[in-house]
Amino acid sequence: MTDLDRFAGHGVLVTGAARGIGAAVARRIAQEGGRVLVTDQDAPEAERTAAALRQQGLSAEALGCDVGERASVEAAVAHTVSAFGSLDVLVNCAAHCTPDPPLFEDDPDDAWARDLDITLTGAYRCCRAALPHLAACGRGAVVSVGSVNGLQDFGNHAYSAAKAGLGSLTRTLAGHAAARGVRVNLVVPGTVRTSAWEGRDDDLDAVRPLYPLGRVGEPEDIAAAVAFLASRDAAWITGTTLVVDGGLTAVNTGFRTALGHP
């Protein structure tokens, strides 16, 4: 539990917040005084997450939201403004990842389109709907959650392309929105222990030695970075990509090990 109060009076919309990183972000910002709308395509799970926050005395509501549908996104933005009086922070966590087939040429069009539509275009839809309100509040911030997949090859062609696209969208939107008083940044996680890895402890153990800091990430690690960039502590930061990956992309651990370096 943090003792900060950086989001007192802020209305905050978090997509993909029913579980995992999104849920951790919603919890962290609510703990810091934010009034959070927990949105997810899985509306019942979003409500369970919001209810758990309310049981802790925190301010949270839930709403089903499909970022693949413009009307659903606009309804979530309108609900945030209506419920909390303003929309000060948008956090784009919603994503979709389809496993690759063994051969690239067997990747179907619909799988490619789905990953890009939810992961990249979904964030675009949310930013488009939210931007006028973020500008009106005078302290607006957008933080999107990317992936190291958008920086290096870790498989998943469509998902990786979408996450790389978030980096470009972050920079171009930051340039556009700066004059309107809105900051736009991106957090790039490495491997994070979420439900996507459920039942795959052996895989997590296998990749752990690749991380210079000696462990995979936890959702709270990413939530802390998101909260920083969304807060006024980052008031002079926009258009940046903050990599939160335990050193994975900065240090070639395999190469160092092959040469016998500690």
Q: What span, in angstroms and rounded, lies between the C-alpha atoms of 21 and 13?
A: 14
CA distances, 148 to each of 21, 125, 126, 172, 228 (Å):
15, 23, 22, 20, 19
State how far the Cα of 236 lies from the Cα of 179, in Å rounded to an integer. Answer: 13
Q: Which of 7, 84, 124, 159 is catalytic?
A: 159
- Burial of 4 (C-beta count, 10 Å sphere; 0-12/13-18/19+): middle
State the DSSP H helix or E strand holding residue 60, giving kind and residue range, or none if neither.
strand 60-64
211 is catalytic: no
Phi-psi region at 133: left, alpha or beta (left = phi > 0; alpha = psi -120 to 50):
alpha
60-64, strands of its sheet edge to edge: 60-64, 35-40, 11-14, 89-92, 141-145, 183-189, 241-244
CA pair distance 29, 24, nearest whole angstrom: 9
Q: Which residues are catalytic?
A: 159
